[in-house]
Amino acid sequence: MSFLEKYLKEPFRYATSDWTKILIGSSLLFFIIFISLASSLLLGPYAMIFIIIPVLIVSMLLTGYYIGVIKNTLNGIDTLPDWSNYMEFIKDGILYYIALTIISLIVYLPAILFLIVGIFFTAGFEILTSGDLLSIIMSLSVFVIITVLYYMVASIALAIYTPLATVNFAKKGFSGFFEFFNILKKISLEYILMLILYFIVYSIVGVVSIIPFIGILIYGIISFPIDVIFHRAIAKYYLEREKVDE
């Protein structure tokens, strides 16, 4: 089976095998988009305070559904998950967001601490030496540049790690997200190429979404099935790597 057949065509056939379930997911995504736009345009930014809870619940539901797609794939079930399991989806979504928050803190906290140290170092340098403005800016710039470079590298590393960690989470539960060695050893050139493929797909969707009026409509229609396709592809890859590791 070719690369595109495994990671694009087959997942596409899977995602389009039940349009009713896809329509439900797209409708939920439309709900998030509509309520967010309506509240910000009609009620102002402070309205986000009142809609954040329903938006979070629906977001967790959708995330849990993607995890359900992965679980079905790992279990050899070639049908889309049933929306009647919505409570399980919400529970999985909550646990997944907690896991993602923890790993994000682990990855980005060093950059935050380094920048804080840089600010205090620069302030102390100014007090002790009465340095001129240019020296202060140069000193702080070094810390900012290093922080930005770290942030970029960390973001790329997290983008590579997270999809496989998501599959491991679906298979083994919360702790599965943090099985670093088991997850990292599954990374290969084929995996990187698959991520690049979907980066291109998501970039195209992002460009389309900025088209006035119709862009949001198109985004709402195609974003959910693309997410389903992506998670199906990642799960299929995971299964192949497990066979190799045996």
**pLDDT of 12 above 80:** yes
**pLDDT of 5 above 80:** yes
**What is the model's pLDDT at position 131?**
54
How many angstroms separate the Cα of 213 from the Cα of each of 28, 41, 216, 223? 19, 14, 6, 16
**What is the model's pLDDT at position 224?**
96
Q: Other C-beta atoms within 10 Å of 83: how many?
A: 15
DSSP 42: I
Tally of domains in the chain: 1
pLDDT (tens digit, 9 = 90+) per residue, 117-153?
777 766 665 555 555 566 666 767 777 888 889 999 9
Give the confidence band of 106 by pLDDT, cuts at 50, 70, 90: very high
CB 37 within 8 A of CB 212: no
Domain membership of residue 72 as a residue range:
3-245
Start-end of H helices in the chain? 3-4, 10-15, 19-38, 48-74, 86-129, 133-172, 180-184, 189-209, 214-245
